[in-house]
Chains A and B, each alone.
Chain A
Amino acid sequence: DARVTQTPRHKVTEMGQEVTMRCQPILGHNTVFWYRQTMMQGLELLAYFRNRAPLDDSGMPKDRFSAEMPDATLATLKIQPSEPRDSAVYFCASGLALPGGTEAFFGQGTRLTVV
Chain B
Amino acid sequence: AQSVSQHNHHVILSEAASLELGCNYSYGGTVNLFWYVQYPGQHLQLLLKYFSGDPLVKGIKGFEAEFIKSKFSFNLRKPSVQWSDTAEYFCAVNARSSYKLIFGSGTRLLVRP
A residues lining the B interface (CB < 8 Å): 31, 33, 35, 42-43, 45, 48, 50, 55-56, 91, 93, 95, 97, 100-109
Contacts and interface: CB of A to CB of B under 8 A. Distances in A.
B96 A101 contact: yes
A102 B99 contact: yes
Contacts of A109: 43
**Count class of interface residues, chain B:** 20 to 34
30 contacts: A31-B99, A33-B101, A42-B103, A42-B104, A42-B105, A42-B106, A43-B103, A45-B101, A45-B102, A45-B103, A48-B100, A50-B99, A55-B98, A55-B100, A56-B98, A56-B100, A93-B44, A93-B101, A100-B32, A100-B52, A101-B32, A101-B49, A101-B51, A101-B94, A101-B96, A103-B46, A104-B101, A105-B46, A106-B44, A108-B43
Given A43-B90, A91-B43, A106-B43, A100 B51 contact: yes
B45 interface: yes
A89 to B, nearest CB: 9
A69 B9 CA distance: 35
Interface of B: 32, 34, 36, 42-46, 49, 51-52, 90, 94, 96, 98-106
A52 to B, nearest CB: 14
A106 B90 contact: no
Contact of B101 (A48, A100, A107, A108): A48
Contacts of A91: 43-44
Which has the most chain B C-beta neighbours within 10 Å: A43, A48, A97, A100? A43
A42 B34 CA distance: 16
Given A43-B103, A45-B100, 20 more contacts: A33-B101, A35-B103, A42-B103, A42-B106, A43-B90, A43-B106, A55-B99, A56-B98, A56-B100, A91-B43, A93-B101, A95-B101, A97-B99, A100-B32, A101-B49, A102-B32, A104-B34, A104-B46, A106-B44, A106-B45
